[in-house]
Amino acid sequence: MINTASMPLQPGQSLFMGKYQIDAVIGTSVYTRLYRTRGTTSVPVHMLRVVQREATEIGAAVFSEYRRRFQTEVKLSKLLNHPNILRVHETNRDGDTLVLVMEYASGGSLAERLQALSQIGKQMPIDDCVHIMLEVTDALAAIHAENIVHRNLKPSKVLFSEEGRVKLSDLGLAQVPGEPVSRLKLRQSQMPHPGTPAYMSPEQKTISDYISPASDVYSLGLILFEMITGHVHRNMRPGSQASKLRHDIPAWLDQLLLRMLDENANQRPIDAAEVGKLLRDHAATRPAFPRVVGAPAAIALHPFESAPEAAPVRSAQPIALAQRPFGKATHPKRRMRKSTTLRHGGSSSASMALQPSGSVPPPPRDAQSSGESGAPRPHPNKSWLAVFVIVLLCVALGVGSAVLVSQPGLNLNPFTAMTSAAGTAEFLSRTVEPTRPRLKVTPSQTPAPATETPVESAVGTTRAVSPTLVAPALVLTPALGISIEFARVPEGDFVMGSSDSDPQSVPIEKPQHRINLPEFYIAKFEVTNEQFAVFLQSTGYTPTAWLTTTMSGKPNRPASPISWADANAFCEWMSMETGRVIQLPTEAQWEKAARGTDGRLYPWGNQPPSGALLNYDLLVKDTSPIGQYSPRGDSPYGIADMAGNVWEWTNTLFNDAQGQAYAYPYDSRDGRELLPAYSPAYRVLRGGSYLNDGSYVRDAARGADDQTQAHKGYGFRIVLMP
């Protein structure tokens, strides 16, 4: 058997004494790979989702979290023996290699089909949309019948068998009765429930208690909206209606979508079974969805996720209730209600179900124009067969590609034990030579600022702001191999946080407010691997996860993975070496350095992110050398890489001793800038990383993680106080 710990598996290799032989790689993501195995006359083809701890540089806690998720999938697969739920057979472990063995879905994913249609400018026929949704609701109804909420529904989780049957996948993030609501978060997010933000319900983003099946109904609505219109719902204007984007959608289906996407959970269908019944009440009977010839075989499962008329199809031999691992216990905070009646042509449906009460705020959406065509409405009796044949030919022409779902920031536990932050100063006092020469400060050759021009700020006040506020900087050289240039940020006020007009804003960024900061100097670039290595050589400090061998060949890239404690130790050493106050930026200092005083959305202005301005959204798939996107991606003060590349630690605490988040407006005197005596202490991270999409690289976007945690998406830059 081969050693698979330190390198990804390749076709021809095998696992578990030859039990599974790798045939092809069919999907990759940050921490997992998806493989197809070779089948034999006695062993069928399987899909393997593989996590390799050393090859992906994840810590013990994250590796254990994947193991727990894999075990959950196996357990739920045995409970939910349903033809529309992807079968999960077992999970195995070989040292630091973890494998989930699944049924092979050779028909690809719904995400791939939608992408293939988009590439040729076509829309999926309404009948096909309804039929696929019926099979998805059948699968989900079986899940809801066990008081389980999926929590990670999206097009890439809807797979197809060779015959075209829907196979709903990935229950690793499911909310299961009796288990904690929260999970170890592998993404940088303050949302109480795991999942994919673009397909979350409002309550999934805001409620820390159990959520109801109506949350999955909202996610189903988002998927159905995307299938019918070809548009992602979050990219549309708030309140966008499917019938305004596609004129052949039936009125009953348009109204059902409005109900499913209601911000108030009490106004939606109560669960998938009700959605399925409403679909069957109006949809025409049609044969099973056929196999799409030429459908892509590569399936891009994201690593973090993973019938009778109105009732789900159950196992032929159901497990007795007393023996089932999850009973029919009622979720907390539920009450009885009667669903809103959906009427069409005189028919109606109503049902009673358990549902959480209360309304919730809407999820953030991107503001994007939606057009309305003047084309006439097609005749309702138009044959679906011709349309169906056309779409089969169109899909056959497209080559599907795996959909990579980026998600915001990562939130990972430590790789190794960490030197305590409280003992950093004492540690350094024993390791740094007291006779080392002090820092020499010299002016840089950075040009003086340009002429100021008036700019309208985000809060409506006209201010004189230079398009480039670059001032003469300082260069610090505390030791051989370290030369850090600082940009001056002058005293004055600026706009902090997000306004309600920003469609991507979230509550933790609000309200937008104006604050005044004294002058400070901030490093023009993130601390590099080469600079961090000099610090380690000079002090003997043991970092949380940073490894010289891992960073070999990347001297001029941001030091990562770095914990807040690592970054703080570097600052303590710099302060002792130079006799100056060197520290991590406060959250306010970081944001002012990134956006200047005109309230811009991004360091470079209000232009949307692109690969020419920053390293984000896995366009590069690794960190990039510092300054690679200068000057076009710089902030108004000439500071590079404030967006993307790596998340940057700040000194600001996200939560207090009781675990409550410090509220905006920002106030440096309320304890958020102190060294806490409690644990875990979460520090704010800013800027997003190469792993995140555009919503996380905004100037006002906030992340947070335990100050002892490190991840390859975490780095830092430092501040010099005058």
Pairwise pLDDT comparison (136 vs 210), residue with the higher score: 136
Give the rounded percent of residues in the chain with a pLDDT score beyond 90: 40
Confidence of residue 681 (pLDDT cuts 50, 70, 90): confident
Query: What's the whole-number mean pLDDT along residues 668-685?
Result: 86
Confidence of residue 190 (pLDDT cuts 50, 70, 90): low
What confidence score (pLDDT) does residue 185 get? Answer: 53
Strands (E), 227-370: 334-338, 352-356
Residue 607 pLDDT exceeds 80: yes
Q: Which two tokens stand for residue 240?
A: 């966008």
Residue 228 pLDDT exceeds 60: yes
Confidence of residue 386 (pLDDT cuts 50, 70, 90): low
Enumerate residues 6+ apart whose C-beta is below 8 A from 322: none
Residue 463 pLDDT exceeds 50: no
Give the rounded percent of residues in the chain with a pLDDT score beyond 70: 69
DSSP string for 539-572 = H----SS--TTTTTT-TTSBP-S--HHHHHHHHH
Query: What's the whole-number mean pLDDT along residues 124-131?
Result: 94
**Predicted TM-score (pTM) of this structure:** 0.45
The phi-psi region of residue 640 (left if phi > 0; otherwise alpha if psi is between -120 and 50; otherwise beta) is: beta
What confidence score (pLDDT) does residue 382 get? Answer: 42
Query: What's the whole-number mean pLDDT along residues 61-90?
Result: 86
Enumerate residues 6+ apart whose C-beta is below 8 A from 194: 151, 152, 173, 182, 183, 185, 187, 304
- Give tens-digit pLDDT for 437-460: 233 334 434 333 333 333 333 333
Give the lowest-confidence range in 40-44, 46-50, 414-418: 414-418
What confidence score (pLDDT) does residue 184 get? Answer: 53
* CA within 13 Å, CB half, 43: 14
Residue 243 pLDDT exceeds 50: yes
**Domains recognised in the chain with CATH numbers:** 14-103 (3.30.200.20), 112-161+192-301+334-397 (1.10.510.10), 426-720 (3.90.1580.10)
What confidence score (pLDDT) does residue 685 get? Answer: 94
Q: Which two tokens stand for residue 363?
A: 């999820």
Q: Which two tokens stand for residue 68?
A: 């727990």
Query: What's the whole-number mean pLDDT along residues 595-619?
Result: 94
What confidence score (pLDDT) does residue 388 get? Answer: 53
What does the alpha-carbon distance between residue 439 and residue 408 come to, in Å, rounded to a whole number?
Answer: 38
What confidence score (pLDDT) does residue 321 get? Answer: 26
What confidence score (pLDDT) does residue 39 get? Answer: 79
3-state secondary structure of 648: strand
Pairwise pLDDT comparison (279 vs 368), residue with the higher score: 279
Pairwise pLDDT comparison (192 vs 449), residue with the higher score: 192
Give the lowest-confidence range in 42-46, 106-110, 208-212, 365-369: 365-369
What confidence score (pLDDT) does residue 675 get? Answer: 81
Strands (E), 202-343: 334-338
Query: What's the whole-number mean pLDDT along residues 263-278?
Result: 94
What does the alpha-carbon distance between residue 87 and residue 91 come to, in Å, rounded to a whole number?
Answer: 12
Q: Give the H/E segment covering residue 143.
A: helix 126-144
Please give the mean pLDDT across all residues of the chain. Answer: 74
Inter-residue contact 98 to 41 (CB < 8 Å): no
What does the alpha-carbon distance between residue 655 and residue 672 come to, in Å, rounded to a whole number?
Answer: 8
Q: Give the H/E segment covering residue 168.
A: strand 166-168
- Most confident residue range from 66-75, 247-256, 323-332, 410-419: 247-256
What confidence score (pLDDT) does residue 135 get? Answer: 96
Enumerate residues 6+ apart whose C-beta is below 8 A from 202: 218, 263, 265, 360, 361, 362, 363
Pairwise pLDDT comparison (672 vs 317), residue with the higher score: 672
Inter-residue contact 652 to 671 (CB < 8 Å): no
Residue 651 pLDDT exceeds 60: yes
Q: Give the amino acid at 36.
A: R
What confidence score (pLDDT) does residue 284 get? Answer: 58
Inter-residue contact 568 to 544 (CB < 8 Å): no
Residue 464 pLDDT exceeds 50: no
Query: What's the whole-number mean pLDDT along residues 181-210?
Result: 74
Inter-residue contact 513 to 665 (CB < 8 Å): yes
Inter-residue contact 202 to 264 (CB < 8 Å): no
Confidence of residue 358 (pLDDT cuts 50, 70, 90): very low
Pairwise pLDDT comparison (466 vs 520), residue with the higher score: 520
Residue 684 pLDDT exceeds 90: yes
- Most confident residue range from 284-298, 625-639, 648-662: 625-639
Residue 416 pLDDT exceeds 90: no
Angle made by CA atoms 344, 346, 348, in degrees to the nearest 5: 70
Give the lowest-confidence range in 67-76, 100-109, 135-144, 406-415: 406-415
